[in-house]
Amino acid sequence: MVDVAIVGVGETVPVRADSRPMSVMIADAIHRALADAGIGANQIDGFVTESATMPGVMPAEDVVAALGVPMPRSPFIAYGLHYGAGLVAAAELAGWALASGRATHVLCWYGHQLSRQAQGPRALYADDPLKADLEMPSGWFGQPVYFAGIAQRYAHEFGLPAEALAAVAMEAREHAARTPGAMKTAPLDLAGYLASPSIATPLRGPDCALVNDGAIAFVMTTTERARDCAHPVVRVAGVGVGSTNVPGDTWFTQNSDYLTTPAAISGPAAFAVAGLTPDDVDFVELYDCFSINTILQYEDLGFVKKGEGAAFAMSKGRGLADRLPTNTHGGLLSHSFLLGGGHVVEAVRQLRHERGAGQVPDARVGLVTALGVPHHSTMILERM
C-alpha cells in the first residue's frame, strides 16, 4: 500500500428521518471532514466513492458545486465497488491517485436517506421477475430472512447459542452508550435481549442493523503532507478486496458456502499489504449488518478458526480493555447504518485517541470492514 493517511473525518448526527435534502446532508459531512483536516475545499482534487448510489445521487460534480469551488482542471474521479465495500475500498483507489501524483487531497463521501424509501426492499425485489415469482411468494426476501438462514446453517454446522448473538448485540449497545450521537443507547442485558421481538429466527431486534438517515466523509493525502495537519497521523497500512463468483442478486440463494464471506479473501490481502497479522490488531470495526455477520468475520479474518466465532464472541469480553474490542461506537446495530462509513470515522478517532470514555487503551492498529455482496473490503489503519 502507498504511504497515505486519512487526515479528516466528518459525519452528520444520525437520525431516523432527516428533513434536509440528501445533498445538504452530504455537504454537511464533507465540510466537517474538511474542517477536521484543516484544509480548504479548493485543495481537493480527487473524488472517490462507491458506485451503486452516489453516481446518481451525489456525483463528484455535484460535490464540487456544493463546496462552492471551481472543478479542478484535471480532477481524479473514481467510483469503485458498490455500497459499503466500495466506500471502504475507496481508500485503495485514493491511495493510487495520491501515489501517482494524480491528486494531492482526495475526498471520499457517502450518504443515504432511507426514511424516504417507504417500501424498503420489497419494491427492489418485486422488480426482479425471479425473486417476484419464486422467492417472494414463500416469504424468502429481505436481508433479515437471508441472514437468519445463514445463522441457522451456522447453528446446524457448529452450534449457535442465543448467548453468542446476544454477546455481539450487547457489546455494540455498551459501546454506543459511551458514544455521543449513537441512536441506541438504552442498556441491553441477556434477559432484555431474549425478551426482544423475534424478526427472523434466530435473529431478534437487537441483531439487526438500524435504519436511519445520515452522511459521512473522509479526506486522504500522503503521510508526508499529513504530518503538517493538526492530528496524529493515521496511516492506511493496507486495503484488501474480496469477491465471489456469485452475483449479488443471487448471493443469498445460489451460494455454495454461506458460512464463508469474502472477508476470507479481503482480510488476508489487507494483512499482507500491511505486513501485519490479526495478533497486531487492537480493535475492529466490523460490518455488523446482522450479529451473525460479526461472528463470521471473526473467523474469516483469521482471529479464530472456522466454527469458533460464536464461542469467541461469548468469551472475549465486551470491555474496551478486553480482547479485540468490536464496533467501539456501537456499529450498525446500535450507532447507525451508513454502510460502514461510520466505522471508518470511528477507527480514525480511536487511533487519534480522541474518544474519551469510549477510548480503547493505547490503540495503535485498527481494522475496518464493509460488505456489499458479492464484495467485501478490509482496511487496516495504523497510528504513526
Beta bridge partners of 141: none
Torsion angle of the four alpha carbons 188, 203, 160, 163, in this order, in degrees rounded to the nearest 10:
10
Q: Tell me what pLDDT residue 131 has.
A: 75
Stretch 190-206: mean pLDDT: 98
Q: Are strands 4-11 and 46-49 parallel, antiparallel or unpaired?
A: unpaired
Q: Grid coordinates 480527487 are at which residue? A: 46
Q: Mean pLDDT of all residues in the chain?
A: 94
> Structural domains in the chain?
4-116+210-383 (3.40.47.10)
**Residue 294 clears pLDDT 90, i.e. is over it:** yes
Stretch 20-29: mean pLDDT: 96
132-186: pLDDT as tens digits: 887 778 777 788 999 999 999 999 999 999 999 999 999 999 999 999 999 999 9
Percent of the chain scored above 70 by pLDDT?
97
Provide the phi-psi class of 68: left if phi over 0, else alpha when psi is between -120 and 50, else beta: left
Stretch 71-81: mean pLDDT: 91
| Separation CA 261–CA 244 (nearest Å) | 9
Burial code (b: 16+ CB inside 10 Å, e: under 16) for 127-148 equals eeeebeeebbeeeebbbbbbbb
Burial of 121 (0-12, 13-18, 19+ CB in 10 A): middle
Q: Render 296-330 in DSSP notation, one character per residue.
A: HHHHHTTSS-TT-HHHHHHHS-SSTTSSS-B-TT-
Q: In what helix (H) or strand (E) does residue 54 lie, and over which residues does it extend?
A: helix 54-57
Asked whether the beta carbons of 380 and 274 are under 8 A apart, the reply is yes
Q: Whole-model pTM?
A: 0.96
